[in-house]
Structure 1
Amino acid sequence: MTGEQSETWRIAGAVAWTASGNDIVALDLESPTAHPMTLQETAAYVWEELAESGPISTDALVKNIAEAYDATQDVVRNDVLELLERLHEQHLIIAG
């Protein structure tokens, strides 16, 4: 991950996911050693944004989350970047 603010993200093609209550459970189907990842609260909201609007830029995600949670973009930016990095490392999302 480059960490560029204008990078765009989308859910990887080989990912299965489902909503379970307010949570999202996602799994990389291409990795035989992958474990399901459960996303809760804000992380689930980010996933829903990716699913509905992807590809979507980091800046747009930060803006949407800040608005949804009545926070400033500066407050949510680092958390969003960390989440995107984790999702990318787990091969759940890809850049582009």
Structure 2
Amino acid sequence: MTGEQSEMWRIADDVAWTASGNDVVALDLVALDAHPMTLQETAAYVWEELAASGPITADALVRTVADAYAVGEEIVRDDVLRLLAQLQAQHLVTV
């Protein structure tokens, strides 16, 4: 992920998802072998921010998560970037 902090992240077009409580379940509708991905707690929060605010830069997303959980950006940065990479690998988000 080169330049991930300035790229604009969003939920991919061919993704179905639903939220229930503190969980989000997302599924790539294009890949025939795709399996639903369940996001919980902070990961679900990141997804819902992508849905509400996307397209959004990774830096802005890190700030939002840090503010929401009252922690420093350095605490959440690596986790948010790792989550974005995982979601992108599953074709659930795109830049």
- Structural RMSD (CA): 0.8
Match of 1:94 in 2: 94
Q: What is the alpha-carbon distance in structure 1 between the residues aligned to residue 55 and residue 41 of structure 2?
A: 21
Alignment partner of 1:58 is 2:54: no
Offset, 1:37: 0.2
1:12-91 maps to which residues of 2 (within 5 A)? 12-91=12-91
Q: What is the alpha-carbon distance in structure 2 between the residues aligned to residue 13 and residue 76 of structure 1?
A: 27
Q: TM-score, normalised by structure 1?
A: 0.96
> Contact 1:19 / 1:25 at 8 angstroms: preserved in 2?
yes
> Contact 1:3 / 1:81 at 8 angstroms: preserved in 2?
no
> Contact 1:27 / 1:37 at 8 angstroms: preserved in 2?
yes
Q: TM-score, normalised by structure 2?
A: 0.97
Offset, 1:20: 1.8
Q: Which contiguous aligned blocks of 4+ residues in structure 1 show a shift greater than 3 angstroms?
A: none
Letter of the 1:44 partner, please give it. Answer: A
Q: What is the alpha-carbon distance in structure 2 between the residues aligned to residue 2 and residue 61 of structure 1?
A: 17
The percent of aligned pairs where both chains have the same amino acid is 68
Q: What is the alpha-carbon distance in structure 2 between the residues aligned to residue 40 and residue 8 of structure 1?
A: 23
Q: Which runs of 5+ in 2 are unaligned?
A: none
Query: CA offsets per residue over residues 27-84 of structure 1, 9 Å max, x none?
Result: 0000000000000000000000000010000000000000000000011000000000
